[in-house]
């Protein structure tokens, strides 16, 4: 079977929407670090929209800091891939041509540095997950115990981390008399722009104080919030798309109709005339907070409770009336901790979220959402818990979600089937739990993990009591039993 490529475009069905621009005339104004399915379904689509609108400065050079997998998917396809937008029985396919080249950084560090230092590059976007910023969760400072960061602290000749590449490239731009690029974190982190800025400035200052001052004065690290559900592509998806296209597309992605990108209007270089789905704002934090605590918080609760119950997909979890009731109650609790912008109708947003969760064609896997929980829970669940405790309010739903995460760390679901705990802190958390014989002891062990639980929250007896009650129920009656008790 032939692969999707420039030479096979003529074979595609007429209902596949192709790029409306000449790819040969495109220059790459964007470098994206952390190429994966989310970028291909989100930021790359936004830049493809700009290209389709006639501004040919916004092609993308993408980079992987680790694996050659995406490069090997995309390179034989000339960077082309299809995005399937699924909503119930409706499906639309579009061909995306914005990604012009994929670099595997460990193989070609100088190629990535050259792309970042190019005069054509105006924006750098990043989707590198929480752990990619190399920051200590407790202090917000550089995690010098990380071996890759430790290497970058010694030398930036061949960087190994995202902050290392940005600092090295900004040094090259400064030496060449070029303006900095605008660096935009697109990861679900509170104050992601400030975190990226802090990582870059701290690393720069360790090498060259003058460079750090130049970046601080002339660079830009806007806060941003991104939202689109992008389930993992399966071999079955590729097989079905191959049958539809008549050629094989190993880089395809599937997603929902909804796309949101809220960006703080603070750029130090050129930017596109952003179209639909992108909102420039003076303050991202209220948008980000609503998304983290409503969408992402509910997703985490669904993932751990559904995963423990042996349920594979989000929409299948929400087919249980007790799970649906749990999500609504979690939203009731989280909503009281928000300060939503005037443009955000929270009631309408909640209805929209439930409709998105109910979309059966996305087949969003609970185990995919369950990854990296130790990095996600502080923003999604623990922050609203702290706010409600401070206000003297109840935390039943939010705490059930956290207790389900704790139960997930055992690596075994309610049927006794084992699963991998995919988390950067899996080993130390497992070690902390190893000697705990009772639910109370397991809660105490988790509360002592200051990389996850803030000390002020860890000593709150109300949280300890509620978590213990839910963990006992989860361990004795399973996730379905705990949900039934929650509704009782």
Residue 374's closest CA among 427, 437, 323?
Answer: 427
Q: Is the pLDDT of residue 362 over 90?
A: no
Q: Using an 8 Å Cβ cutoff, are 367 and 307 in contact?
A: yes
Q: Using an 8 Å Cβ cutoff, are 33 and 123 in contact?
A: no
Q: Using an 8 Å Cβ cutoff, are 302 and 295 in contact?
A: no
Residue 188's pLDDT is: 82
Q: Across the beta sheet with 99-104, what order do the strands follow? A: 99-104, 59-64, 28-33, 123-126, 182-185
pLDDT tens string 12-52 = 999 999 999 999 999 999 999 999 999 999 999 999 999 99
Query: How far apart (Å, rounded) are the C-alpha atoms in residues 300 and 330?
Result: 11
Residue bearing tokens 């597309």: 249
Token duo for residue 346: 């929270």
Q: How confident is the model at residue 407 (pLDDT cuts 50, 70, 90)?
A: very high
Q: Using an 8 Å Cβ cutoff, are 366 and 311 in contact?
A: yes
Q: How confident is the model at residue 271 (pLDDT cuts 50, 70, 90)?
A: very high
Residue 45's pLDDT is: 98
DSSP category for residue 23: G
Sign of the Cα pseudo-torsion (135, 137, 140, 146, in order) = negative
Q: DSSP secondary structure string, 379-392?
A: IIIIHHHHHHHHTT
Residue 448's pLDDT is: 94
Strands 224-227 and 260-264: antiparallel
Q: Is the pLDDT of residue 276 over 90?
A: no
Cα separations in angstroms, 452 against 139, 313, 370, 398, 402: 12, 26, 15, 15, 11
Residue bearing tokens 């109840």: 394
- % of the chain surpassing 70 pLDDT: 100
Query: How far apart (Å, rounded) are the C-alpha atoms in residues 76 and 71?
Result: 9
Residue 190's pLDDT is: 81
Query: How far apart (Å, rounded) are the C-alpha atoms in residues 346 and 352?
Result: 10
Task: Please give the backbone phi and psi of residue 42, each rounded to the nearest 5 degrees, phi first.
Answer: -125, -85
Residue 343's pLDDT is: 85
Token duo for residue 305: 């409770």
Residue bearing tokens 């996305």: 362
Residue 488's pLDDT is: 86
Q: Using an 8 Å Cβ cutoff, are 110 and 168 in contact?
A: no
Q: How many CB atoms lie within 10 A of CB 123?
A: 23
The 3-class secondary structure across 97-153, one letter per residue, is CCEEEEEECCCCHHHHHHHHHCCCCCEEEECCCHHHHCECCCCCCECCCCHHHHHHH
Number of Cα atoms under 13 Å in the Cβ half of residue 5: 10
Q: Is the pLDDT of residue 270 over 90?
A: yes
Average pLDDT, the chain: 95
Per-residue b/e over 191-217, b at no fewer than 16 CB within 10 Å? bbbebbbbbbbbbbbbbeeebbebbee
476: exposed, middle or buried (Cβ count in 10 Å: 0-12, 13-18, 19+) = exposed
Length of the chain in terms of residues written = 488
Token duo for residue 380: 């999604």
Residue 1's pLDDT is: 77
DSSP category for residue 231: P
Residue 469's pLDDT is: 98
Token duo for residue 453: 């639980």
Average pLDDT over residues 424-449: 95
Average pLDDT over residues 321-339: 98
CA angle 452, 303, 374 (to 5 degrees): 15
- Report residue 373 CA to chain centroid gap: 12
The 3-class secondary structure across 256-299, one letter per residue, is CCCCEEEEECCCCCCCCCCCCCEEEECCCHHHHHHHHHHHHHHH
Q: Using an 8 Å Cβ cutoff, are 266 and 220 in contact?
A: yes
Q: Which residues are CB-neighbours of 298 under 8 A, at least 6 positions away?
A: 327, 330, 331, 353, 357
Residue 98's closest CA among 64, 53, 49, 63?
Answer: 49
pLDDT tens string 124-171 = 999 999 899 999 877 889 999 999 999 999 999 999 999 999 999 999
Token duo for residue 281: 């704002």
Average pLDDT over residues 239-259: 95
Average pLDDT over residues 350-370: 93
Residue 332's pLDDT is: 98
Which residues are bridge partners to 209 per DSSP? Answer: none
Residue 89's pLDDT is: 80
Q: Which residues are CB-neighbours of 365 under 8 A, at least 6 positions away?
A: 231, 232, 312, 313, 314
pLDDT tens string 79-121 = 999 999 998 888 899 999 999 999 999 999 999 999 999 999 9
- Any idea of the CA torsion for 25, 31, 36, 39, to the nearest 10 degrees? -80
């Amino acid at each position: 079977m032939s692969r999707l490529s420039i030479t096979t475009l003529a074979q595609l069905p007429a209902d596949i929407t192709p790029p409306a621009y000449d790819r040969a005339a495109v220059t790459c104004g964007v470098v994206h670090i952390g190429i994966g399915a989310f970028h291909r379904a989100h930021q790359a689509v936004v830049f493809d929209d700009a290209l389709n609108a006639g501004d040919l400065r916004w092609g993308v050079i993408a980079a992987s800091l680790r694996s050659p997998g995406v490069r090997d998917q995309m390179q034989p396809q000339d960077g082309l891939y299809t995005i399937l937008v699924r909503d119930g029985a409706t499906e639309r396919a579009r061909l995306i041509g914005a990604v012009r080249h994929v670099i595997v950084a460990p193989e070609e560090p100088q190629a990535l540095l050259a792309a970042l230092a190019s005069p054509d590059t105006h924006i750098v976007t990043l989707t590198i997950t929480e752990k990619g910023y190399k920051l200590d969760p407790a202090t917000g400072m550089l995690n010098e115990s990380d071996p890759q960061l430790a290497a970058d602290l010694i030398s930036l000749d061949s960087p190994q981390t995202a902050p290392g590449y940005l600092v090295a490239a900004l040094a090259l731009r400064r030496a060449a008399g070029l303006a900095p690029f605008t660096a935009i974190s697109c990861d679900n982190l509170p104050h992601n722009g400030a975190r990226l800025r802090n990582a870059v400035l701290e690393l720069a200052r360790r090498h060259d104080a003058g460079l750090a001052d130049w970046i601080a004065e002339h660079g830009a690290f806007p806060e941003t919030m991104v939202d689109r559900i992008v389930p993992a592509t399966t071999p079955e998806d590729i097989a079905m798309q191959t049958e539809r296209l008549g050629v094989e597309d190993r880089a395809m992605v599937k997603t929902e109709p909804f796309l949101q990108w809220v960006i703080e209007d603070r750029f130090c270089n050129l930017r596109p005339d952003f179209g639909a789905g992108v909102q420039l704002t003076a303050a991202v934090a209220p948008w980000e907070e609503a998304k983290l605590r409503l969408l992402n918080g509910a997703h985490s609760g669904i993932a751990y409770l559904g995963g423990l119950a042996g349920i594979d997909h989000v929409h299948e979890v929400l087919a249980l009336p007790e799970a649906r009731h749990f999500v609504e109650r979690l939203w009731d609790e989280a909503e009281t901790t928000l300060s939503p912008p005037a443009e955000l109708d929270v009631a309408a947003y909640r209805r929209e979220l439930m409709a998105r969760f109910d979309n059966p064609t996305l087949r969003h896997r609970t185990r995919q959402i369950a990854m990296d929980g130790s990095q996600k829970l502080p923003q999604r669940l623990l922050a609203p818990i702290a706010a409600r405790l401070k206000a003297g309010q109840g935390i039943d739903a939010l705490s059930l979600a956290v207790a389900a995460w704790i139960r997930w760390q055992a690596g075994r679901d309610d049927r006794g089937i084992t699963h991998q705990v995919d988390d950067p802190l899996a080993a130390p958390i497992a070690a902390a739990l190893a000697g705990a014989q009772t639910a109370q002891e397991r809660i105490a062990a988790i509360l002592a993990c200051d990389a996850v639980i803030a000390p002020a929250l860890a000593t709150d007896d109300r949280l300890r009591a509620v978590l213990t009650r839910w963990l006992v129920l989860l361990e004795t009656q399973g996730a379905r039993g705990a949900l039934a008790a929650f509704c009782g």
